[in-house]
Amino acid sequence: MIRRRQNILILQAGFSLTGWRCEHCRNFGKGAPERCPVCGEEVIFVDAVEELVELALDMKTQVEFQPADCGIRELGGVAALLRY
């Protein structure tokens, strides 16, 4: 999402994913590292889906929630349609 190529972020309704965010460099990801892989600072644990939605809305990306049976589960619960 950092390259701002996404036009629409598509999420499976009810999908949740544990993630982390670095307060120092604002990097985030899934999993549970003790330190940020980019800057080495400590991380806080967050809901990665909420982080994705917040980032998408900050970048003026449309966010859509689709039902669980729409096929997004096979993609990890998250997909995007790109601008170009």
**CB contact set of 10 (below 8 Å; sequence gap of 6+):** 64, 65, 66, 72, 78, 79, 80, 81
Give the count of domains, the chain. Answer: 1
Examine residue 11 and state whether it is found in any structural domain, yes or no.
Answer: yes
pLDDT of residue 1: 52
Examine residue 71 and state whether it is found in any structural domain, yes or no.
Answer: yes
Examine residue 36 and state whether it is found in any structural domain, yes or no.
Answer: yes
Phi-psi region of 26 (alpha: psi -120 to 50; beta: other; left: phi over 0): left
- Per-residue confidence of the chain (84 residues) as pLDDT tens digits? 556 677 899 999 888 889 999 999 989 898 889 999 999 999 999 998 898 899 899 888 999 999 978 878 887 888 888 877
Q: How far is the C-alpha of 24 from the C-alpha of 27, rounded, in Å?
A: 8
pLDDT of residue 5: 73
pLDDT of residue 77: 85
Q: Which domain holds residue 42?
A: 6-82
Examine residue 20 and state whether it is found in any structural domain, yes or no.
Answer: yes
Task: Enter the pTM of the model.
Answer: 0.74
Examine residue 1 and state whether it is found in any structural domain, yes or no.
Answer: no
Examine residue 38 and state whether it is found in any structural domain, yes or no.
Answer: yes
First to last CA, the chain: 13
pLDDT of residue 10: 92
Give the CATH number of the domain where residue 48 resides.
Answer: 3.30.1330.30
The residue assigned the tokens 């669980």 is 68
Q: Cβ distance 28 to 1 under 8 Å?
A: no
